[in-house]
Amino acid sequence: MTNKVVKTEDEWQSLLTSEQFYVCRQKGTERPFSGELYALDQDGQYHCVCCQQPLFSSAHKFDAGCGWPSFWQPIDPLALTEHVDRSHGMLRTEVTCSGCGAHLGHVFPDGPPPTGLRYCINSVAMNFEASDETG
């Protein structure tokens, strides 16, 4: 995404549900196994709920058993920005949308080949767009 999406917190709050705002703008997290995209098994793409930037493909999704949708790579590495996260007494790598700064989740070095990465992403931070089956 070449144009950054910039909105005030009040604008974001008016556009998002309370849970989306909490997760995406206040760096919260949804309860594990509660998100509607966790067990979704359809072909398509996952987009940022705030700015609609494409983030992940269903071709890169896997069941990590952690309670959140997990992917072993993004569609485009430039779609994500990584940050050191020392909250909650842990050292983690936070993942945000490069288009709007929305908090998406975290990336961990315990995923499957070929990358060995596990992008653990909140369902409410994404919209799913099914692939067009007609081609």
Q: How far apart are CA 66 and CA 106, in angstroms?
A: 12
Beta strands in 65-115, from DSSP E residues, in sequence order: 70-71, 80-85, 92-97, 103-108
The listed CATH number (3.40.50.20, 3.40.50.300, 2.170.150.20, 3.20.20.70) that belongs to domain 32-130: 2.170.150.20
50 is in an annotated binding site: no
**6-47: per-residue pLDDT in tens?**
899 999 999 999 999 999 999 999 999 999 999 999 999 999
Residue 1's pLDDT band, with cuts at 50, 70 and 90, is low
Domain ranges of the chain: 32-130
The rounded mean pLDDT for the chain is: 94
Q: Catalytic annotation on 120?
A: yes
More confident residue, 2 or 86: 86
pTM score of the predicted model: 0.92
Q: Which neighbouring-strand residues pair with 5?
A: none
For residue 132, the model assigns a pLDDT of: 78
**52-105: per-residue pLDDT in tens?**
999 999 999 999 999 999 999 999 999 999 999 998 888 999 999 999 999 999
**116-133: per-residue pLDDT in tens?**
999 999 999 999 999 976
24 is in an annotated binding site: no
CA nearest neighbour of 73 among 30, 132, 113 = 113
